[in-house]
Amino acid sequence: MRKRAIAASVVSSSAVILIGWQIGAQAQSADTSLSAAAPARTSAAPATSSPQSSARASTTPTATPEPSTAASAPSATSAPSESPSAASTDGTYTGSSVNTRYGTVQVQITVSAGSITDVTALQLTDSDSRSVQISNRAAPVLRQEVLAAQSANVDSVSGATYTSDGYLKSLQSALDQAGL
């Protein structure tokens, strides 16, 4: 009786652990396919406006000689919400919000004279305290890297994969709107 009980414990415990693992693995793959779909959405949105914005982009360097960042910001804040077609290069652009398993990520960029002068995180992964902790650590690093590279083509922060992915995806959509 005792031996059978031990055997039953081992078998049922292993089964429970395996099922847990399976559920987790499935959730993971669903997650990655979800986040794979997310960039498709974000790239699709700017794709419609990309011909216009690229056309604008070619004209912008000459059109905006003054590099005053602070002055241009308030006037342009409403620009992205109105329509991308109205986008001038200077101003702020809000990226699409990207859903990750740890929460939604959304960034806003400030563009001046064709370059990114600031990145603000409107929303970061915050589903739990640990995510908040990670976000708070990753966001300044990502901002610094993006400002240095002037693109979304930067390394993600180690230990903050989801936050980095969301951050950079949202950033890319903002860049697309700005035509950078």
Partner 1 sequence: MTSTSQRPRASSRRREAAQADRDVQRAASMRQRNYRGRARAADVMGILCWVSVALSIALYLAYSGGSQLTDAGGVVTAVGIVTGLAGTDLILIMLVLAARIPWIDHTVGQDRAVALHRRLGKPALYLILAHAVLLTIGYSISDGTNVIAETVGFFGLGTDPILAYLGLALLLLVVVTSVVAVRRHFAYEAWHLIHLLSYIAVLVALPHQLSMGGVLADGTLQRVYWIALYVAAFGSILVFRFAVPIVRTARHRLRVDRVDVIAPGVFSLQLRGTELRRLGAEGGQYAVWRFWSWRTWWHAHPLSFSAMPTDRTVRLTVRELGRGTARLSRIRPGTFVSIEGPYGIFTDQARSAPYLSVIAAGIGVTPIRAMLEHASLRPGEATILLRGTDQSEAYLWHEIGQIAQNTGVSAFSMLGPRPRHVPTWMSAHALANGITLESTFPHLLDSDLFICGPTAWAEEVVADARDAGMPEHRIHLERFDS
Kindly state whether residue 28 participates in binding partner 1, applying the rule CB under 8 A: yes
105 phi and psi, to 5 degrees?
-120, 135
Give least dist CB 7 to partner 1, A: 10
Kindly state whether residue 25 participates in binding partner 1, applying the rule CB under 8 A: yes
CA distance 110 to 161: 24
CA distances from 148 to 5, 123, 173 (A): 63, 22, 18
Kindly state whether residue 1 participates in binding partner 1, applying the rule CB under 8 A: yes
Q: Which of 105, 70, 77, 94 is nearest to 177 (CA)?
A: 94
Tokens of 96: 């699409």
161-178 and 2-63 helices cross at what angle (nearest 10)?
20
DSSP state for residue 104 in the 8-state scheme = E
Kindly state whether residue 34 participates in binding partner 1, applying the rule CB under 8 A: no
Choice between 134 and 171, CB closer to partner 1? 134
CA distances from 132 to 81, 85, 97, 140, 171 (A): 28, 35, 17, 13, 19
Q: Which residue has the tokens 């982009």?
A: 57
Give least dist CB 62 to partner 1, A: 44
Per CB under 8 A, the list member of 45, 48, 159, 163 interacting with partner 1 is: 159
- Choices 33-41, 54-62, 72-80, 125-133 (CB under 8 A): range interacting with partner 1: 125-133
Handedness of CA 6, 10, 12, 17 (dihedral sign): positive
Per CB under 8 A, the list member of 108, 131, 170, 177 interacting with partner 1 is: 131
Kindly state whether residue 24 participates in binding partner 1, applying the rule CB under 8 A: yes
Kindly state whether residue 132 participates in binding partner 1, applying the rule CB under 8 A: yes
- Choices 13-21, 39-47, 52-60, 78-86 (CB under 8 A): range interacting with partner 1: 13-21
Residues 56-85 that bind partner 1 (CB under 8 A): none
Instruction: Enumerate binding residues for partner 1 (CB under 8 A).
Output: 1-2, 4-6, 8-10, 12-14, 16-17, 19-21, 23-28, 101-102, 127-134, 137, 158-159
